[in-house]
Structure 1
């Protein structure tokens, strides 16, 4: 007697074609990536030429420059890290670098650089317009001169963001000499009126970079031009802090323009996150009402300098930034303490 639940025979009918047992190969994410040619990410052994990379060509990759002589080199893109070895008599622009820029065994170099870390070793006679988030380091290097980053091209602000760099965190003048020599100074600051174009020229109009719209005017620079470690013109400084909002960067730029038009000088800037205990320590008696604002994001602080700057900044805050959450030093009697409290905190926060 048959069983109603017996299974169908698994034997295949002889007149049917055998099934194809071969499966299609699996596709992995790395199989779908565009093939990378290492030569696209290096410049080697080039002489007497204008070379580099246009926006969108690196997209955060590492880059190498080596054994170049008498070249104008322009990297109009963001990258992960850049090493420059054995180059002589070159003019170099490097767009924002997420990690380190390392010059080794180079001499007679003039450059504009934005990076997280900057270091030189065994270099001679370099002039650097720098934006560096950490303390720049020189090692076994002589004749090093530093100035503040001054540059603009349309994609540059986006490249700073892609590289994770803040335009307000620039320690260009806070140099650490890893190998100091007694009685000698291996580095100095460029004259305050130094112009980028006198050091790093515009690309050749016949080159592939002619389409990049560049400006080296300090007023158009993505990174604010600061006085840095140079001697202050006045004993009066003012701390002006913007709390996080939709227009923090634009507001900071507006303040710089307003203050500069009145003859005041921007000394330094910082963008940092704060905790409630930081607010209490930095702002002390003025901390009340500020705690809720730090949860919205980092603050942007500026030190402005000049006789009468505190009163002027308080007027600007009332007239231009009414409705925007800010902190401004109350009087010139307390403003120096305000500046020291904030920027000492910021330097500690950033490990400087």
Structure 2
């Protein structure tokens, strides 16, 4: 018995004109826009102010190398950024999805946000940082850290595009791979340090088009005290369960509480499973059964210090559900849900 389909294919092949060439197959990677690495680097510059505007990097890798006495501003999100052999430079980096790596740099002042931050073989860096994981220094000295403080209209969307949360910032929890006995290779900048004095707003016509503000009350990232010395033994933990307006509600709550005398220590946005919630909320966990029964859920935690819980604060907190004072146990060792004076949960 013959094969109808094989004959059909043979007939189709024979019917094709001899001078007609078979078109090459198109693959998805062939259709990608070609990227010129030179568009995503600053190299060998001296005494210049340069930058990239929002939308011009769009998640690509970026390289900064061999620059001296330059002001460099990347007003966009990127995949990773490597900074090599730079001296006396001012650097701003928009949200970086992966790592920022400084190598062999000297006398630089920076403001940046990233998933991972690492410094190796560097001297005298001053960094206003937002970092989702523990910052690392290695074979470096005189590295100073402050909390990220910056705003421009596109920045919030760039954090989202980079997959970073404005509430996950471990800027002061530094790990030194190469500590020196009797010395400290890193420290925190003064709490009253003004970011504008370190990383000023650009003045070139092109970069002035980005509407930048360094005012503390406009910063996209909440300004926290981190691991600075405690100024009070009283503390409280505010927990907001994620919803349509949870980010806006958290920011509003932080502003109100700081205005009423609280000191923001740290914030964290985490996903939590039912068993984790049982450990954190203990005997109060059953109050949240509707949430726990849905499986993993998101929450934003805000840890604050307060000198005294006076009448005005009690009145302010009356719109929240207040749990009895207790010592909270965290689901993991890196969490900050420890030794809370009270827990306040947003009412639904």
- Report the TM-score range of the alignment, normalised by the length of the smaller protein: 0.7 to 0.9
Contact 2:273 2:297 in 1 (8 A): no
After TM superposition, the score normalised by the length of structure 1 is: 0.86
SS at structure 1 position matched to 2:257: helix
> How much has 1:216 moved relative to structure 2?
0.8
Contact 1:239 1:329 in 2 (8 A): no
Alignment match, 1:88: 87
Q: Number of paired residues?
A: 325
Alpha-carbon distance between aligned partners in 1 of 2:11 and 2:223, rounded to the nearest angstrom = 82
Partner of 1:208, secondary structure, is helix
- What corresponds to 2:273 in structure 1? 275
Distance 1:311 1:179 in 2: 49
In our comparison, the structure showing a higher alpha carbon Rg is: 1
The Cα of 1:312 is off from its aligned counterpart by 6.2
Q: Which residue of 1 aligns with 2:324?
A: 330
Query: Which whole-Å CA distance do the structure 2 matches of 1:94 and 1:57 have between them?
Result: 13
TM superposition shift of 1:27: 2.4
Q: Distance in 1 between matches of 2:331 and 2:187?
A: 23
Tell me by how many angstroms 1:217 deviates: 1.1
Q: Which residue number in structure 2 is paired with residue 35 of structure 1?
A: 34
2:172 is the alignment partner of 1:173: yes
Other-structure match for 1:151: 150
Number of the residue aligned with 1:50: 49
CA distance in 1, matches of 2:27, 2:124: 49
Q: Deviations over 1:234-258 (max 9, x none)?
A: 1000011001111111111111111
Q: Identify if the C-alpha distance between structure 1 residues 234 and 80 changes in structure 2 by more than 3 Å, giving closer, same or farther.
A: same
What's the counterpart of residue 132 of structure 2? 133
User: Take 1:343 and 1:311, find their aligned partners in 2: how far apart are those partners?
Assistant: 33
Change (3 A) 1:190 1:329: farther
Separation (CA, whole Å) in 1 of partners of 2:336 and 2:219: 27
Deviation per residue, 1:148-182 (Å, 9 max, x gap): 00001111111111111111110000000100000
Residue 228 of structure 1 is matched in structure 2 by: 226
Give the structure 1 partner of residue 235 of structure 2.
Answer: 237
The 8 Å contact of residues 280 and 331 in structure 2, kept in 1 or not, is answered as no
Q: C-alpha separation between the residues in 2 aligned to 1:95 and 1:123?
A: 22
1:218 aligns to 2:212 (yes or no): no
- 1:226/1:244 Cα in 2 relative to 1: closer, same or farther (>3 Å)? same
Q: Show the counterpart of 1:194.
A: 193
- Please identify, of 256-265 and 103-112, the stretch whose mean Cα deviation from structure 2 is larger: 256-265
* Structure 2 spans left out of the alignment, 5+ residues: 1-6, 338-348
Q: In 2, distance between residues paired with 1:156 and 1:92?
A: 16
Q: CA RMSD in A?
A: 2.4
Tell me the residue number matched to 2:3.
none
C-alpha contact (below 8 Å) 2:123/2:141 kept by paired residues? yes
3-state SS in 2 of match to 1:171: coil
Residue 255 of structure 2 corresponds to 257
Specify whether residues 169 and 17 from structure 1 end up closer, same or farther in structure 2 by C-alpha distance, changes over 3 A only: closer
**Worse-matched range after superposition: 28-37 or 230-239:** 28-37
